[in-house]
Structure 1
């Protein structure tokens, strides 16, 4: 591993000339599009009465369960075997589940739910495998640029895909859209390149739980990782969840228009796009502190919803929050790929996804009762404090300054 005190700046557009990276980027983007598209398409199924609102909730819930179960298992398998092979298996699971879901839609909720669970499992298993595969395909000096390019594609998809999917829904049915999701998963399975590492270990192996526990022990060797993960989990479980519930209410009740809701969500994505572009080239000396400061910017969002401010300030808060989340995400992924023992990278990444994104539904489930008990103002104020305080506390850990334990 290279000493990160040497700031090697990649040559502009150098990665675009790498066939391996382009294939990795394409596969990762396809999996991201497929992951994003499913909830939106299921929402369209409610509009055309193929599903009821309750059935939609069931399908989204079992998909999340599949994701949470598969993330740690996928991390262990990706460290046991070829990361490329786990990506293949995961993508094929999603590709096979899509036509089953299309067939079951409106016919059998049980069959559709099984397909949604399998697709969620494919999504969960591929996340840590893709993280580890990136470390194999991309050289260390170029990984920050590579991670920025990958997240940039995800944000562009988030920005343009709703309109594109809505337009497609005018000419094709929901089952056909689901088959399109299956095609995306097939691309995610087949397009990525082979990695340079081979982690298959012959002979007897410990169980899944034992190997995942070994990954947890590896994570504990990196205090900056535990501190940063705790901060990220706190921000997502409180700030993201509360603002996701309160923003539509504030848009309707305070400003009397849904335009603030639409503008804020678009502003968040545009801010994230800007953040990905900036961090793809910028190498701040105290990269960890810069990343945690970016994460703390999300605290501006609950503050803007708490105070009776002009809607422009609400939109501006979302721009800064989007900018900040990518100033955190890209260095965070890059540092994890650099610092963690390569044979345990997928397991540590799975711990990251399991806690940071896995606890988000818990936060959402608790927001409504909390608002009933303490009021929206109290919940927003508490979330703002957490969003500012959690990254600040993480920054106090000495190794958090540069996201490394090395001197």
Structure 2
């Protein structure tokens, strides 16, 4: 970007030159555009893959097997993917993972378009896709956090997450329409093309500002080092443990119990889709909020916002009228963005750059590891205890897990670190250790500066 001193104050047209904000540099812009493209395609592909299975005569159990194959391989390879992304240039790992996803999704589309794919073939290709994501996710999150700096980080992360939320909502709506119009095979082909385009964009990422990786003692040693970094920070591992419970029970409530309540009490799939759409709209508005609001106690504000995730389960347990459910889902969407932006800002602030991907891998692992178990146990829980008690149990687990995290001192005291008081990477900035001098929440500082995280459908981060 040309400096103000080197560029004329006005272009020939006489209008003032508009400069990009400092956090919207080349890498950030490339990452945001590429992620928007793949998120748009992926959420359409989620619908397309389900209908591809059903169109071959499969049932709900077969749809679950294809989805479970992806999740299983994602979980198995996540920690390895994090260690690899901290050993190699992250953009190389991202491009390689995109290539694998392009090939696996392209083969899936070809099988569907040619005739009747076998269940084992769809499971195998889904597993390859999950493997690619296991290597991609930690590398991408580390690359994103390395692409911004200073007080602008929170705004940059909020805008990034807002774009992903919009792509998720739009991708699901567009994907559903395209599946009905042209069939699931072509939607899967579009998703494969999205991976190819995104991988090409990521080849142009500039990593010249990132220090070269110093060869370590080996992959296992790097994984052990990441584990020590993870367990050595109580605020980090307790929140990841909290979300392993929260994501699992919220996922079970919304993927298993929600459609059943909608069928029996709300009028079917249409009203349930509207409620889920309200959650998506809430995440977009939550991102707008977090572009302006900079809570000083990052993790305290983030954790308080998680209590709202108990509301959808409670609303389904009653069950409340559709209008109330829509409002509850909307509020949950807004507040989860408060958590998401505050969380990724804390990681960006506290974790050394060379360990970002390994920590991100543990974060992802905690978020997705218990989801298959929770969804598998939802049916037996309904049979044993009833649907309403099971939903109240989901809400209670969210409240208990979130309350427990508030007893961790670092969660209550870790503060946003202003640029003038940045200390050595990895040192926790606590309330009494580094006083802050910030503008009132929601207002710009005199310099005009304002001070992100994770995968839709798997983790609210």
Q: Same fold (TM over 0.5)?
A: yes
Residue 178 (1) aligns with residue 191 (2): no
Residue 142 (1) aligns with residue 152 (2): yes
User: Residue 23 of structure 1 corresponds to which residue in structure 2?
Assistant: 30
Query: Deviation at 1:364?
Result: 0.8
After TM superposition, the structure 1 stretch with the greater mean CA deviation from structure 2, 225-234 or 307-316, is 307-316
How far, CA to CA, are the matches of 2:84 and 2:138 in structure 1? 10
CA contact (8 A) 1:199 1:343 kept: no
Report the RMSD for the aligned CA atoms in angstroms: 2.3
Length-normalised TM-score, structure 1: 0.89
Residues 51 and 365 from structure 1, CA distance in 2 versus in 1: closer, same or farther, beyond 3 angstroms? closer
Residues 379 and 403 from structure 1, CA distance in 2 versus in 1: closer, same or farther, beyond 3 angstroms? farther
User: Residue 298 of structure 1 corresponds to which residue in structure 2?
Assistant: 309
After TM superposition, the structure 1 stretch with the greater mean CA deviation from structure 2, 109-118 or 376-385, is 109-118
How far, CA to CA, are the matches of 1:400 and 1:133 in structure 2? 25
Residues 111 and 273 from structure 1, CA distance in 2 versus in 1: closer, same or farther, beyond 3 angstroms? same
How far, CA to CA, are the matches of 1:51 and 1:77 in structure 2? 37
CA contact (8 A) 2:43 2:175 kept: no
User: Residue 338 of structure 2 corresponds to which residue in structure 1?
Assistant: 327
Query: Deviation at 1:377?
Result: 2.0
Residue 163 (1) aligns with residue 176 (2): no
How far, CA to CA, are the matches of 1:305 and 1:119 in structure 2? 33
Residue 365 (1) aligns with residue 372 (2): no
CA contact (8 A) 1:298 1:320 kept: no
User: Residue 33 of structure 1 corresponds to which residue in structure 2?
Assistant: 40
Match of 1:191 among 190, 194, 201: 201
How far, CA to CA, are the matches of 1:258 and 1:175 in structure 2? 23
User: Residue 86 of structure 1 corresponds to which residue in structure 2?
Assistant: 93
How far, CA to CA, are the matches of 2:286 and 2:246 in structure 1? 18
- Uncovered stretches (5+) of structure 2, i.e. residues with no partner: 1-17, 416-427, 434-461
User: Residue 238 of structure 2 corresponds to which residue in structure 1?
Assistant: 227
Residue 385 (1) aligns with residue 392 (2): no
Residue 354 (1) aligns with residue 365 (2): yes
How far, CA to CA, are the matches of 1:16 and 1:349 in structure 2? 21
CA contact (8 A) 2:298 2:414 kept: yes
CA contact (8 A) 1:97 1:116 kept: yes
Larger Rg: 1 or 2? 2
After TM superposition, the structure 1 stretch with the greater mean CA deviation from structure 2, 395-404 or 219-228, is 395-404
Cα offsets for 1:196-232 (capped at 9, x unmatched) = 3245334x63243x42232121012221112211222
| SS of aligned partner of 1:14 | coil
Length-normalised TM-score, structure 2: 0.80
| SS of aligned partner of 2:342 | helix
Match of 2:409 among 398, 401, 404: 398
Query: Deviation at 1:265?
Result: 0.6
Match of 1:289 among 290, 300, 324: 300
CA contact (8 A) 1:100 1:111 kept: no
Higher helix share: 1
Query: Deviation at 1:402?
Result: 4.9
Match of 1:117 among 101, 110, 127: 127
Query: Deviation at 1:38?
Result: 2.6
Residue 313 (1) aligns with residue 313 (2): no
Query: Deviation at 1:302?
Result: 1.5
User: Residue 217 of structure 2 corresponds to which residue in structure 1?
Assistant: 205
CA contact (8 A) 1:294 1:324 kept: yes
Q: Which runs of 4+ in 1 moved over 6 A?
A: none
Query: Deviation at 1:170?
Result: 5.0
Which residues of 2 match residues 32-51 of structure 1 at below 5 A?
A: 32-46=39-53, 48-49=55-56
How far, CA to CA, are the matches of 1:309 and 1:101 in structure 2? 40
How far, CA to CA, are the matches of 2:50 and 2:363 in structure 1? 28
Residue 279 (1) aligns with residue 290 (2): yes
Query: Deviation at 1:65?
Result: 1.9
| SS of aligned partner of 1:65 | helix
CA contact (8 A) 1:82 1:197 kept: no
Query: Deviation at 1:15?
Result: 5.3
User: Residue 12 of structure 2 corresponds to which residue in structure 1?
Assistant: none
Residue 216 (1) aligns with residue 223 (2): no
How far, CA to CA, are the matches of 2:212 and 2:57 in structure 1? 45
Q: How many residues align?
A: 395
CA contact (8 A) 1:95 1:182 kept: yes
CA contact (8 A) 1:98 1:115 kept: yes
